[in-house]
Structure 1
């Protein structure tokens, strides 16, 4: 019975816990043998049960390492660089959690890009450029994994990430936007502390594009070398949204498909824009903040002014300049840097 207990503990709980229980049983057997001999004059030799218990534990631990844990080790090798520890744990302990080889899923995709990177790299030696990128990308990518996202790849000075694969992530649009807002705060903190060593002469800025849609996600590449990645129109749309951050002079933009699932958040209509390679216009929204920002009186007033401005621009009203000035003044009290957005 004790041997069966050790087997079950080793396979279904932990070899370390089974070892601790085995040592406890060994100690109890030695104490019981000594007591029965000293008090009753009876000799029960504990040597054979102890040896057999040790052999049982060693054999079961070897079986678990070679067979049971093999799939978990393969998953950890494949996804350890891309996922947070919490997601890795869920994958390892969820049967059939992975659906590799190409799976259509609804994803929230994010692209992050450094503004004026060519200008920065022109005046720095290559080693300094690498040091700058490592500092920046490490700080920003932490927010992806902290919000249960998957780091797809680093493309030069850019980051591609997505949510809701390889396993389901609840409220993935919200987690993607929270990661983007955290990146905004991080880049402001890094600039303020001069973490890049540029001094006051250079402020590092980023642009972030977010879109929610169906994409194909799985292992892609050659048979000998492949990556876990996502492809499809949703990925292309997120990349195009990131590029128009320069056009609208704002750092975080999200599509209507993402914004629709986040009522009560602080978004502003940035218009319907033509994205490169897209036939129809795509409605874009400026991401100002989360629910706490949306409930602030300053944002409530700005939202009203912004609505009036949109109507004035559509009707080509001559009073639009006055509304822009009022919105720009009200935006100064918000943390998102909206003054450039209003020109």
Structure 2
């Protein structure tokens, strides 16, 4: 290294000066050490400059390349902590997000493989930027899906809110891409996505083999987030969050989407739909929709005959807030059981 080379150079210089002085003092011989010292110094600084300009530049290029796969916070953690590159993990409260492309099989069937890759690169690049912009960590790309999480490897304040903001930004970006025909599918051929978000305890760390591993998260929180994302098709809405995430999100426009049975879960999970941000939540249109929606959920819970009329009213109110809610209310009539207590939950409430 340059530091070791400098120390060695200084020692050789000192030895040359001492040897020259002793030779003149005891043997009467004059050896001029100036020329070799100057030539050695020139060689040392030339080699050091070459190392900084060439070798360190290559190191920066490698770091920049890995920056496409790892979040900046994770890179910083690895650089300053040698123990970061070890197998194992820590239990942390994470907000986990899954993003999936709707009808991807149909899209891939009518496109050539190279066109499928170009489509995915365009879409996933545009969406994943919002994860990093909101202090999230991109875990992996799974085909047409994105997995990301917040609050690891470093603490992130208001991580649930930032995850929801990233989801809303993805919705807006996708709308712009569809409007500009960024995928080249032609007018009327729009791409849709589903986003599921859940906050809970998970184990996050380096996982895999000792010679090849990934920084990832595993646990029930990850499974729940993936299951919530898969419910977007059934619910008919693009952004769904769990009640644990909703309790941490302040000021967002959210409405109840029912208690859905998730695969692998013994009890149903309360799901909410994210309509918009604080600006939407403060609007008069959403306030009116919220009142009607609350009446509708109460009617569905009590098996009221007034529910059909309230669904029609809610659909009318929804069009004034966001267009995507029309399908949401269209499907409520076929999943009224999601707004009613299951028999086991009724028994549990009575026991409590």
Q: TM-score, normalised by structure 1?
A: 0.76
1:147 matched to 2:120: no
1:327 partnered with 2:314: yes
SS at match of 1:340: helix
Q: Would you say how many aligned residue pairs link Structure 1 and Structure 2?
A: 290
Give 2:92's aligned residue.
105
Structure 1 segment 17-28 matched on structure 2, within 5 A: none
Contact 2:136-2:148 within 8 A present in 1 as well: yes
**Residue of structure 2 equivalent to 1:181:** 168
Query: Could you tell me whether the CA contact under 8 Å between 2:99 and 2:145 is conserved in 1?
Result: yes
- Aligned CA distance change for structure 1 residues 78 and 139 (closer, same or farther; 3 Å): closer
The 1-side partners of 2:131 and 2:313 are apart by 36
Residue 263 of structure 1 corresponds to 250
Aligned to 1:136: 123
Match of 1:284 among 271, 294, 297: 271
CA deviations 1:190-240 (Å, max 9, x no partner) are: 000000000124210000000001111111112222111111000000000
- How far apart, in 1, do the equivalents of 2:206 and 2:225 lie? 20
Tell me by how many angstroms 1:97 deviates.
9.8
Conserved? CA contact 1:268–1:306, under 8 Å? yes
Distance 1:294 1:178 in 2: 14
RMSD over aligned Cα atoms = 3.1
Counterpart Cα distance in 2 of 1:149 and 1:180: 11
CA shift at 1:102, angstroms? 1.1
| Higher Rg of the two aligned structures | 2
Deviations 1:139-158 (A, max 9, x none): 10111111111111111100
| 3-state SS in 1 of match to 2:329 | coil
What's 2:184 paired with?
A: 197
- Specify the SS of the correspondent of 1:334: coil
Gapped regions of structure 1 (runs ≥ 5): 1-6, 8-47
91, 95, 103: which one pairs with 2:77?
91
Distance 1:299 1:244 in 2: 23
Match of 1:208 in 2: 195
CA contact (8 A) 1:132 1:196 kept: yes
Q: Retained in 2: the 8 A contact 1:91–1:97?
A: no
1:293 has 2:280 as partner: yes
Cα distance in structure 1, aligned partners of 2:245 and 2:185: 35
> What corresponds to 1:115 in structure 2?
102
Change (3 A) 1:140 1:312: same
C-alpha displacement of 1:292: 1.2
Q: 1:80 aligns with which of 57, 67, 70?
A: 67
Q: Give unmatched runs, 5+ long, in structure 2.
A: 4-36, 331-352
TM-score by length of 2: 0.74
What is the distance in 2 between the residues matched to 1:152 and 1:129?
A: 22
- The CA distance in 1 between the partners of 2:137 and 2:256, in whole Å, is 28
Q: State the shift of 1:89 in Å.
A: 7.5
Distance 1:78 1:215, change over 3 A: farther
